[in-house]
Amino acid sequence: MKEVFAWWFNPKRPFSIIKIPYAFCVTVILGLSIVGNFRDFITAFRTEPLFTGLFLLFLPIFIIVFFADTIFAWGLLWSPYNVFEEEHSGWKALFKVLGIFLGVFIGLRLIRLLVFSGWNP
């Protein structure tokens, strides 16, 4: 993880004039999404009837569903580093990875919308 942040925030790297503001914005979004998603998860855990009995077995899946924003924000930070620094691939590979992250993000948000909206009477 240290390498990812060093790659984004090092002013001696190429394109640092673009990378540093982008990484700062995504890092702020990542921090805010962690706090917001944790708050939403705790609220849903206390109020939703879904978190009782047998459904506690599916708790890891529910955690992934609730932390979809955090997963997507981390993907926005990690994907360019992995594609350009580790794999030395081009823009096509980056857009492929970001498309996969976006698809998973939309799917998790739809699951959260369909399962956890409208349960409060």
Among 84, 103, 106, 102, which Cα is nearest to 94's?
A: 84
pLDDT of 107-121, one tens digit each? 998 888 887 775 544
Write the CA distances from 3 to 19, 73, 84, integer angstroms: 14, 17, 13
Among 76, 70, 83, 95, which Cα is nearest to 26's?
A: 76
User: At residue 10, does pLDDT exceed 80?
Assistant: yes
Cα–Cα dist 33/44, whole Å: 16
DSSP-derived letter for residue 55 is: G
User: What pTM value is reported for the model?
Assistant: 0.79
Tell me the mean pLDDT in the region 27-40: 93
Residue 35 has which token pair? Answer: 């706090």
pLDDT of 35-79, one tens digit each? 999 998 888 777 767 666 667 777 888 889 889 999 999 999 999
